Chains A and B, each alone.
Chain A
Amino acid sequence: MDLSELKAAWQAYDVKLQQSLQLNLKIIQELGIQKVTSSFGKLIRLKIITTILGFLWIAFLSFLIYSFPGEPIFVVSLAGIILVNAIGIAGYIHQLYIIHTINFHDPILETQRKLARLQAAFIRISRILFFQAPFYAIFFVSMNLLRNGGPLFWIIEGSVVALLLFAAFWLYRNISFKNLNKPFVKTIIENEGGKAIAKALAFIKEIEEYKEDLK
């Protein structure tokens, strides 16, 4: 079968549809076009809700700092958590802006690239939130504990904080477009979020290659 035969088959398909396909217009009216919930709409609502929750969380943490200013480590750790969440929220707002610019009537590669980048960015922002983990490991440390904790406390606490810091940096730097072909990256991204980012990043690469005039 060659392309001309394929075209002939496609035309036969078209003739068949002409004779047998019927779009149920009544159902379209039933859809109440303006009220139907599109999947894209759900994405926007989810991001708006997450952003609002983020603001509320920051507000709550700020209240705690205001209420308990006496413990410096507590204040610093909460400030760190607030900073990370603020970056996350800024990322979400930026994504909402990108969503606003996506139009399905734009050229296909342009639209699909934006969608894939949006998906990848969403998960990257989620990974930025890992940077707050070390702060959760220290917020409970009082000055008294710091002075009297002893070597064992320092070893355990230091190890936990160092491990969490390393994990956060490593995750952010290594789960990236460039490292997608590395076996250890592929192994790590077994979870659902990781698969989604891998697919999105692979599709971005595919789109970039598609645009090139490769001979």
Chain B
Amino acid sequence: MEQQQDKEAFLQLVEENQRIIFKICNAYCRNKSDREDLAQEIIYQLWKSGGSFKQESRFSTWMYRVALNVAISFYRKEKRSIPALSLTGHLLEIEDKPDSTETEERLMQLQQFITQLKELDRALMILYLEEKSYSEIAEILGITETNVATKISRIKTRLKQQFSTTSN
């Protein structure tokens, strides 16, 4: 009974945070099949690590750490193993709604920029775009706040250079 309640609570948490899981999978995977595999792996690790979540720390900190650690490890593997279970349907289903040309272009530029970053900078960027404080970013990554600020500043410079080159 308790296990069923835990499972239901977990599923609710996953549903509430599904966008984060999707965004991380999209940032670290090139194709749909890899995204599905990574999403499975993240959800599995979230479930497995559930007992380690301490109520006094932020849930988002804990969740981002697990999801990004899994994503970076997954990204760094050259070979993808075949998923253990063959599932009916897809884990992440996204409705294909057309966007305005301008929005579509901005999203493409965003995606292009993020995928050019190295694994750790990618994680930093995702957290920054998710409007996490420097303090929380530092806590998730395991670096100092000063380091976070320095790296974001460097990414800003790089972004400026990249897009001014593209415009020229």
Q: Does B85 contact A (CB under 8 A)?
A: yes
Given contacts A5-B106, A12-B103, contact A30 B88 (CB under 8 A): yes
A9-B108 Cα distance, complex, nearest whole Å: 9
B74 nearest CB neighbor, chain A only: A39
Is chain A's binding surface mostly helix, strand, loop or mixed?
helix
Contact residues in A for B65 (Cβ distance below 8 Å): 104-108, 111
Contact check, A39 vs B77: say whether CB atoms are below 8 A apart. yes
What is the CB-to-nearest-CB distance from B50 to chain A, in angstroms, rounded to a whole number? 9
Is chain B's binding surface mostly helix, strand, loop or mixed?
helix
Contact residues in A for B14 (Cβ distance below 8 Å): 23, 25, 28
A103-B65 Cα distance, complex, nearest whole Å: 10
Given contacts A29-B11, A39-B41, A104-B70, contact A20 B97 (CB under 8 A): yes
What is the CB-to-nearest-CB distance from B60 to chain A, in angstroms, rounded to a whole number? 12
A38-B49 Cα distance, complex, nearest whole Å: 13
Q: Does A49 contact B (CB under 8 A)?
A: no
What is the CB-to-nearest-CB distance from A56 to chain B, in angstroms, rounded to a whole number? 26
Q: Does A155 contact B (CB under 8 A)?
A: no
A203-B92 Cα distance, complex, nearest whole Å: 30
Contact check, B91 vs A27: say whether CB atoms are below 8 A apart. yes
A193-B8 Cα distance, complex, nearest whole Å: 43
Which A residues between 9 and 46 are near B, CB-CB below 8 angstroms?
9-10, 12-14, 16-34, 36-40, 42
Contact check, A105 vs B62: say whether CB atoms are below 8 A apart. yes
Contact check, A27 vs B88: say whether CB atoms are below 8 A apart. yes
Give the 5 A-B CB pairs with smallest separation, nearest first. A107-B142, A37-B84, A20-B95, A23-B18, A10-B129
Known contacts A1-B113, A112-B120, A213-B146; 15 further A-B pairs (Cβ under 8 A): A10-B129, A12-B107, A13-B107, A20-B94, A20-B95, A23-B15, A27-B88, A27-B89, A28-B11, A103-B52, A105-B62, A196-B78, A206-B118, A210-B151, A213-B147
Cβ contacts A to B, 7 pairs, < 8 Å: A23-B14, A31-B87, A33-B7, A40-B73, A105-B62, A108-B120, A108-B140
